[in-house]
């Protein structure tokens, strides 16, 4: 999708609101799209209207013109058009030659910079969707690391480390998850240090990037296992958000850590009953090899804190329990610091990435007590699964503000969603939220 801020021409397809239509319906002529109804047309409704208008033209290409009067409308129209124009058919014949859709945005001159900003954010969000939708044979951890390195720029450095380095650093939890796969795991580290940023705050972004999750020896059910290519959506979100922040030149220091591996099974795979030692020295009894995300995050969180992150946010498709609780619309999140939580809440509201705060409480810790190690990586009880995972991660987040986002529901959806005209697959959830959160810490 291309965005132009200009006066629309007479040949453009124009979009408007029609009260005679039901929500989600579209009426199309050669020059006009009408989307309705207008009764509840808040920014989210306008974003959905723009998405459906773009979807109607996705197969044809061309230019669609909208008029915007304020910042909220500009955000909604740019974002919605990008959502509707996105095509998940990366591997379909003719994908490279698909027609281009242009958004002609008639808006006051002082909003043109905002339109350009949101177009940049959405371009990186689309890339996060592409990463989540790429099949596991096309995007093993080494390929994800190579993609991350393609974002390296003057103030953004990117490095990655493989199995031998991970083991040498004492990352026994991460190494255990990776032990059953022939694919080399990667710890991807991105550092964004723009000039003139005051000392004192370094935002740590941590992402789970399991490029395929079979469940390991605790094998998943075959139904919908193909969706487990999307278990790296958290890693994709923090990676692309970091690249967007660097491209926008936000004056904030970032340290981004992505733990990437497959979770597979062979004769070397970790097993239920194993005890592994994480980088912070704590031992973990394995009771379920399909609770692997918290293990790779444990070592990644510790690395981020020890490397200087003062405020940490991690993003992970972590628990089915969160999907059951909130469906595929909201993410659940947790925080150990109310000041950070206030920033998160404001960023979520501004960005449109819906998120709901869940409780942390030390009494939940007893669920993951182990008789044989410092803790275990799950509970035999089917209670508070998402909360227990957060309490587990808190043991590795170190001293300082930390937030955990369980994005299992909205990051990779299993059915089409009418809002934003979302296709099945990756949604890029978290990219907009992270950029807004970084903006709030920018000097």
Catalytic residue numbers? 220, 294
Q: Return the number of other C-beta atoms located less than 10 Å from residue 39's C-beta.
A: 9
Element (H, E) at 289: none
Report the candidate in 368, 207, 386 with the shortest Cα–Cα distance to residue 300.
Answer: 207
- Cβ neighbors of 118 (< 8 A, separation 6 or more) are 74, 75, 78, 79
Q: CA triplet 151, 314, 381: central angle to 5 degrees? A: 140
- Name, in order, each residue with C-beta under 8 angstroms of 59's C-beta and a sequence gap of 6 or more: 99
- Mark out the alpha helices in 292-425 (DSSP H runs): 293-306, 320-326, 338-351, 385-394
Look up residue 237 and give its two tokens.
């979100």
C-alpha 240/C-alpha 132 separation (Å) is 12
Backbone angles phi, psi at 359, to 5 degrees: -80, 145
**CA proximity to 20, closest of 32, 1, 4, 35:** 35
Q: Which residues pair with 207 in a beta bridge?
A: 258, 315
Cβ–Cβ < 8 Å for 296, 216: no
């Amino acid at each position: 999708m291309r965005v132009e801020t200009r006066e629309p021409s007479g040949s453009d397809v124009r979009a408007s609101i029609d009260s005679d239509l039901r929500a989600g319906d579209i009426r199309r002529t050669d020059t006009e799209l009408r989307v309705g109804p207008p009764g509840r047309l808040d920014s989210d409704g306008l974003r959905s209207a723009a998405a459906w208008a773009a979807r109607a033209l996705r197969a044809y290409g061309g230019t669609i013109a909208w008029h915007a009067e304020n910042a909220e409308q500009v955000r909604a129209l740019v974002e919605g058009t990008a959502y509707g124009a996105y095509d998940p058919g990366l591997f379909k014949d003719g994908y490279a030659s698909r027609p281009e859709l242009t958004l002609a945005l008639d808006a006051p001159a002082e909003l043109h910079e905002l339109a350009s900003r949101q177009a940049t954010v959405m371009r990186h969000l689309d890339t996060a969707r592409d990463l989540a939708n790429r099949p596991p044979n096309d995007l093993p951890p080494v390929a994800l690391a190579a993609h991350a390195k393609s974002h390296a720029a003057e103030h953004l450095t990117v490095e990655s480390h493989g199995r031998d380095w991970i083991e040498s650093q004492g990352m026994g939890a991460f190494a255990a998850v990776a032990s059953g796969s022939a694919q080399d795991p990667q710890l991807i580290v991105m550092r964004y240090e723009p000039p003139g940023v005051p000392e004192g705050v370094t935002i740590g972004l941590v992402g789970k990037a399991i490029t395929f999750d079979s469940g390991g020896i605790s094998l998943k059910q075959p139904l919908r296992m193909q969706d487990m290519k999307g278990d790296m959506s958290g890693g994709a979100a923090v990676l692309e958000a970091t690249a967007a922040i660097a491209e926008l030149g936000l004056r904030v220091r970032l340290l981004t850590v992505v733990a990437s591996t497959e979770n597979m099974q062979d004769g070397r795979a970790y097993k239920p009953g194993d005890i592994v030692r994480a980088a912070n020295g704590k031992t973990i009894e394995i009771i379920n090899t399909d609770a692997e995300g918290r293990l790779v995050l444990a070592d990644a969180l510790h690395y981020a804190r020890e490397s200087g992150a003062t405020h940490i946010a991690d993003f992970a498709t972590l628990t089915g329990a969160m999907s059951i609780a909130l469906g595929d619309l909201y993410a659940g999140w947790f925080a150990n610091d109310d000041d950070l939580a206030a920033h998160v809440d404001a960023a979520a509201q501004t960005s449109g990435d819906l998120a709901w705060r869940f409780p942390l409480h030390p009494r939940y810790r007893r669920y993951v007590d182990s008789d044989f190690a410092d803790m275990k990586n799950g509970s035999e009880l089917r209670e508070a699964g998402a909360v227990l995972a957060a309490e587990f991660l808190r043991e590795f987040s170190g001293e300082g503000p930390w937030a955990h986002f369980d994005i299992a529901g909205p990051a990779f959806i299993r059915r089409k969603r009418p809002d934003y005209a979302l296709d099945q697959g990756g949604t890029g959830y978290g990219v907009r939220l992270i950029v807004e959160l970084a903006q709030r810490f920018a000097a």
